[in-house]
Amino acid sequence: MAEDLTGACLCGAVRYRCRGEPESMGLCQCDRCQRQSGSAFLIAVVYPQNAVRIEQGDLSVYTVNDPDGAALSRHFCALCGSAVMITLDRYPNIRSMMGGTVDDKSRLKPTFSLWCSSGQPWLALPEAIEQFPEYPDGLIA
Ligand SMILES: [Zn+2]
Ligand SMILES: [Zn+2]
C-alpha cells in the first residue's frame, strides 16, 4: 500500500491528506492556470474525491466557467493565497491537488501536459511528458 500523500499551503494553515497513489499527474499551461499559479504551469495531482481529506484550515474558492461552460472551482488558502485544489463540475468524482503544495516533492512525476499551445516558448519539457496542444477529452477522468 502506498503511503498517503500530504501537503500544505505556504503559511501552513491548510493541510490535506490523500490516500494512496494518485490516479494521474499532469501539468497545465493554459492562460488561466498561468495566471492563478503566477508561473508557467500548474502541477495537477489527481485523486478520487473520496481519497482526499482537508485536515486543517479554511479554503476560499473562486469559481468560473471553463471555455466549454462547465464550472471549475479553484480552492486557495484564505490567509496566504496558495492554490491548493481544483474541483470540476464536469468531473465531480475527482480532486486535483496542486503539486507545489505537496510535502514530498520527490513523488511528483507528471506524465502529460495540457494546453502546450498556450505555453511559454522557452519551456522545454522532457520527452517522457506527453504534450497536448489543448485538452484532449477524457484524459483526466
Ligand atoms: Zn496558507
Ligand atoms: Zn489550465
Contact (CB, 8 A) for 112 and 26: yes
CA of 30 to the centre of ligand 2 (A): 4
Euclidean distance between the first and the last CA atom of the chain, given in angstroms as a whole number:
23
Q: Which stretches within the chain are classed as H helix?
A: 31-37
Any idea which residue has 468531473 for its cell? 91
What 3-state DSSP class applies to 25?
strand
CA 102 to chain centroid: 10
Query: Which ligand sits closest to the CA of 81?
Result: 1
Query: Which ligand sits closest to the CA of 39?
Result: 2
Query: Which ligand sits closest to the CA of 10?
Result: 1
pLDDT of 119 reads 97
Domains, the chain, ordered by start:
5-131 (2.170.150.70)
pLDDT, tens digit, 9 for 90 and up, residues 105-123 = 999 999 999 999 999 999 9
pLDDT, tens digit, 9 for 90 and up, residues 38-78 = 999 999 999 999 999 999 999 999 999 877 788 999 999 99
Residue 51 CB neighbours (<10 A)? 17
